[in-house]
Each structure stands twice: as structure tokens, then as C-alpha cells.
Amino acid sequence: MSLVKAMATVAGLTGVSRIAGFIRDILTATVLGAGPVADAFFVALKLPNFFRRVTAEGAFSVSFVPMYTKALEKDGEEQATLFANEALSMMLWLLSGFTIFVMLAMPFVIYLIAPGFHNDPVRYDLAIDLSRVTFPYLLMMSLTALLGGVLNAHDRFGPFAAAPIIFNLTLITFLLCAGFGFETPGHALSWGVLLAGFLQFALLFISAKRIGFKLKLRRPQFNVRTKQLFKLMGPGVIGAGVVHINLFADVIIASLLETGSISYLYYADRLNQLPLGIVGIAVGTALLPMLSRAMTSRDSAEVRGLFNRALEACFLLGLPAAIGLLVIAHPIVTTLFEHGAFDARAAAMTSAVVTAYALGLPAYIAVKVYSTAYWAKQDTLTPVKASVIATLFNITLSLWLVFKTPAGVVGIAAATSMAGWLQIMLLSRGLKGREDVRLDDRFKKNLLRIVLGCFLMGSFLYVTKGQLQDFYRGDAADLGSQILALVILIGGGMAVYGLTVTMTGVIKIKDIKGYLKK
């Protein structure tokens, strides 16, 4: 499977998931708003997701996939399957104990991750109850991530990319049924998270079985391969999860601010995650097994081509997305979320946070490519150095902006963005001198053309937003007017950018026709 086709598969399914996710978020904003129940639920949602993204989909995936791919290429299907089952048994044993421990210690855990809740009995008690329901989701999604790595190594990218669709549809269903037997909508959503974990695992289990993978639980044992896996995972826990460590630190700091701050960060991050998920995850997921194979076969030309085209795709799609969020954050937030319990102040605060997050979006998308260049070579130690520095920088800057300036919750998002640029600078310096990942002339020329397209698109959005402000602001602005204004802004911006990159040769019509035929 080609890199473009693999990226398209992951990006397309991720896009469907993000659309379902936006429907879920719109319903959540309408029902929960940005109050105490919303804050408690978002903490309960972030807690298992933090460990899932840092360990299961972060450190584990970037360590397991290259090792599994190498075993598949050199030792054959049988040995690769044996290694996967050894890893699965070890993961099941360790995470089951960890899950039980955290659920028992949840009052202390909530005190640590949301210290501002301690003096608010409503948010504190709710966060404990809801987190105990959601936390086993970590175990199910960790097992799902392992099966996803197996499928990706076999160039089957669809099932793992489709799993989040099940998650979002499940939560939408539970949210619509919140009035039937649930204490609050937060409780309904929490039980939806737990069920979604089981359903996603079932999808990946069936998909892995179809390619001939035989899941067999074994007695956990530390042999040469599992020791190597955990050795690679150690630094990768931080190296692969700096974005999520930063976001988790954001929750801790935001809990000390006014009620609703955690909710502002959540809704803003959901918008930020749309391009980051579609572009960054698609590129990283498709690139890792392909880059691992190319490095195993010592094909430097193939490695360099994959690296440059992946980075080019990141900026081609990620940079205009960042400019769009930066310029039209308020129309987007108003149209999507300012309904029901989500009032004008919540929309204004969330828009400001979106703008701050957008400043770092291109960096975090590019981090996916630079980090993959290390992971494919089974080097998880080098990225951790950049991650530690970036994480400490983010926390320090967040504390300063929040408590020493009037920035408030916006300062948290701004610090996260700056940490992303620091991380990309450190990662690129670490690759300096490696011929197989040197930037080629095509990338350099196209990057300038992409920047030109973004400038023209941003100018169009800025001018048009002013002309359409009556459509999405004021008492006369109804939902239909808001949607129309947003369609004009996004559609027009895409047209301006698309024409620019096509006319300057970044994208060629014949290539588009070829991809569509494939």
C-alpha cells in the first residue's frame, strides 16, 4: 500500500469520526454547557484517555509496531504472532492491576489531578464517581491499540482508524438517553465511554481474526523480546505523549481557575484535534510501519522520500487549518456550541482558547513525522529529551501566564502551543546530519508556495469575517444564518487556498485524478 493511499484511508475514517465527535460535542455543550457536571465529566474522560494516549497509543504503539514489523519481515508470521500474544498477555496482567488500584485510590487521584475541585464538593464527588466508571476504558483501549498495531503492520489501516467512530456514536446514543435512568447526563456519558471500549475491542478482535491473527492468552513472562519492548517503552512514555502530558497539566492548572475553565479547554481542544487527528494521526499511523520496513532494508532513498512527502502533507493540510482556526475561531465556536446551556461568555472564552491552541497546531502535526523518524529506528530515547524539556517549559510558562498575567485560561493554551514549537526545534536538531531524513528541494519549494496560499486564504477570511459578522453575532443571528456564514467562510477559504496551491504546482491535477482512480 502506498503512503498516500494509507494516509487517505486513515484520514478519511478519522474525518468521519471527527464529524461524529462534533455532533457529540454539540449535544454535550447543549446539555451540559460549561458547568460543574461538565467539568467533572471532562476530568473523568481525560483520566483514562491520558494513560491510553501516552502508554497504549503512544509509547506502546511506537515501540511495538517496529518490533512486530521487524519480526514479521525477518522471522515470519508465526514468530510475529507469538511476540504479539506475549505483549498482549503482559499488558493485560499489568493494566488490570493498575486499573483496580487507581479505581480504589480515585479520591486521592482526583485531588492530585484537579486540586481546585477539593473545595467544591459537587465537582469533587462527581469527578470521583464518574472516573471510577470511565477508568476501565484504559484497559480495553490498550488491548485495542495492540491489535491495531498488528493490523497496521499488515497494511490494514481501516479498522483501527474506524474504532473512534464507534466511540462517538456510542456516546451520542447514551447522551440522547440521558433522561432514562441516569442521575445526570455526565453519568450517562461515563457509562457510554465504558461500553465504547468493549465495542472497539470487539471490532479490532474480529478484524485481526480475519487476517489470520490468533489471539492466545499466555502466562506473562519477561523474555528477551518483552524486555526489549519495555526498554523501548520506558522513555517513550514521555517521548510519545508530550502533547497529552501538557494537556493533563493544563487540567490541573485550570481546576484552580473559575468554574468552566476545564470545559473551555476541552471544547477548544476538540476543535484543535480535528486537523491534528485527521492529518497528524493519519501521517504518523501510515508512516511508522512503512518507514520501519524501509529502515530495516536500509533503503535510504525510500526513507528520505517517505519522510519528505509526509512532512509536506503535514504542512499542506495542517498550516491552512491552523490559519483558519486562528482567524475565524469565534464564528466556528458560536455556530457549533453556543446553544442551550452553552452561553455567550462560554463561547467567547472558548474562542480565545482556540486561537491560542491554533498557534501551535502546525508544530504538533510536524512532531508526528519527526518523532516517527526516531521510532522507526527503535530510538525512543532521543525524543524523550526533547519531550522533557518541552513539558517542563509548558508547565512553567502556563503557571507564569495564569498567575502573573491577566491571560487566565488562555495562557494555558498559549503555553502548550509554545511548547510544541520548542519540541519541533529540538527534534529537528537531533536529526541534523542524517542524510536519509534531509529536507529535499521539492519540500523547500512547496513549503514557500503553501505559505503563500495560507497568506491569501487568511486575508480572505479576515475581510469576509468582518462583512458577515451580523450573520453570527447579535440577536438577529439565528442558527441558519450562522451556518450560512460559516459555510461561506470555510468554503471560500478552501477555494482560495486550493486554487493557490494548484496554480503554483504544489498539487497537480493529474496526481489528483490518479489518486481518485486508485
Mind listing the pLDDT tens digit for each residue in 387-401? 888 888 988 999 999
Contacts of 33 (CB under 8 A, 6+ apart): 263, 340, 341, 342, 343, 346
Question: Please, are residues 365 and 279 in contact by the beta-carbon 8 Å criterion?
Answer: yes
**pLDDT-based confidence at residue 284 (cuts at 50, 70, 90):** low
- Residue 102 is which amino acid? V
pLDDT above 90 coverage of the chain, percent: 17
Instruction: Judge contact between 128 and 106, C-beta under 8 A.
Output: yes
Average pLDDT of the chain to the nearest whole number = 80
Give pLDDT tens digits for 362-377: 888 888 778 777 766 6
Which among 11-20, 299-308, 463-472 has the top mean pLDDT?
A: 463-472
**Residue 460 has which C-alpha cell?**
480572505
Q: List, for residues 421-444, the tens digit of each pLDDT value.
A: 998 888 888 777 676 677 778 888
Using the predicted structure, report yes or no on whether residue 413 has a pLDDT greater than 60: yes
Q: Which residues make Cβ contacts (< 8 Å) with residue 125, sequence separation at least 6? A: none
Q: Give the residue-averaged pLDDT of 46-72.
A: 71
Q: State the pLDDT confidence band at 243, using cuts at 50, 70 and 90.
A: low
Question: What pLDDT, on a 0 to 100 scale, did the predictor assign at position 194?
Answer: 93
Kindly indicate the confidence band of residue 464, based on its pLDDT and cuts at 50, 70 and 90. Answer: very high
Strands of 129-170, DSSP E: none
Q: What is the model's pTM?
A: 0.68
Residues in CB range of 29: below 8 A, 6 or more apart:
267, 336, 337, 339, 340, 341, 342
Residue 283 vs residue 403, higher pLDDT? 403
Percent of the chain with pLDDT over 70: 82
pLDDT recorded at residue 298: 67
